[in-house]
Amino acid sequence: MAKIFQRKYENKVFNRAVNIKESRKFLFDRLRREWGEIETTIEKDLRRQELYKTAKETGEVLGLTILGMAAVCRLLIVGAVAPNIFSASGRLGGRRRYFDKNSFRDRIYYYKKHGYVDVRRNSGNNIMEVKLTERGENKVLRKALGDLKVFPQEKWDGIWRIVIFDIPEKNKWAREGLRERLKRMGFYPLQKSTFATPYPCREEIEFLTQLYNIDGYVRLIETKTISLDDDLRDFFGL
């Protein structure tokens, strides 16, 4: 029964996220930022054959990688760069990824068949253009919402962020949903309705309060001092 309740209200939150323009924009912006951070971790001088090897070893993440790239780049340009290897990038270049040709084709066929992408082929130069449909966008948004997190700082600024909420019983679904989401985002539970993180989270908390329609019930406190914070420091590795 509890799982049915949870699934029902997670769907309610998701429907709010995809139907509110500001929420869609927030999630797509987050996705682009995450892709940008991934880009910085990839060595620019990585040899092409190493990229090909990575492409051949691509596993379960292939499909979400394709959809994620299409969401970030808006229009994905795909072409063969070597036998059995596809290169995919945005229309203006950048964010390039390499895929095993057969695996890529199978996944694209699956997503096209189920209405997640539109595919246009240019027989003249053997180029494929992949664009998300609205259904595809919603699939990506659901994943982005589920993976919502706060970004760690390279060097902690010494400020604790504390989220406190007192949400009425009539909004129990939102209270429980917020609590579970903060846990999944890596916040440390100080009390049942008090969570802490050392990382900036104002945008994320504002997004969640709007998403759950609980403006006025949630406070964000920023402080340099929390007494007895050894457990917090251990939890976050500070």
Q: How much of the chain exceeds pLDDT 90, in percent?
A: 23
In a domain, 62, yes or no: yes
Reduced to 3 states (helix: H, G, I; strand: E, B; else coil), residue 216 is coil
CA distance 29 to 21: 12
Per the structure, how many domains does the chain have? 2
Residue 113: pLDDT band (50, 70, 90) is confident
How far is residue 90's CA from residue 75's CA, in Å, rounded to a whole number?
6
For residues 90-111, average pLDDT: 69
- 15 and 103 in a single domain? The answer is yes
Q: Is residue 193 pLDDT above 50, yes or no?
A: yes
Question: Rounded to two decimals, what is the model's pTM?
Answer: 0.74
Q: Among 146, 173, 198, which residue terminates a domain?
A: 146
138 and 22 within one domain: yes
180/29: higher pLDDT: 180
What's the CA gap between 169 and 88, in Å, rounded?
A: 49
Last residue of a domain, one of 146, 176, 191: 146
**How confident is the model at residue 17, as a pLDDT?**
74
Residues 206 and 11: their CA atoms lie apart, in Å, by: 20
Band (pLDDT 50/70/90 cuts) for residue 142 is confident
Backbone angles phi and psi of 51, in degrees to 5: -65, -40
Structural contact between residues 162 and 223, judged by C-beta atoms closer than 8 angstroms: yes
Mean pLDDT along residues 56-64: 43
Q: Could you give the CA distance from residue 50 to residue 173 in angstroms, rounded to a whole number?
A: 48
Q: Which run of H or of E encompasses 131? A: strand 127-132
Q: Using one digit for the tens of pLDDT, what is the confidence trace for 29-47?
A: 877 777 666 555 544 444 4
For residues 114 and 164, state if they share a domain: no
What dihedral do alpha carbons 182, 188, 190, 196 form, nearest 10°?
-80
Which pLDDT score is estimated for 218? 94
Q: Residue 194 and residue 181: Cα distance in Å, rounded? A: 13
Supply the range of the domain harboring residue 198. Answer: 160-236
Q: How confident is the model at residue 57 (pLDDT cuts 50, 70, 90)?
A: very low
Q: What pLDDT, in 10s, does the model give residues 146-178?
A: 888 888 888 999 999 999 999 999 888 889 889
Looking at per-residue confidence, does 182 or 27 come out higher?
182
CB of 223 closer than 8 Å to CB of 232: no
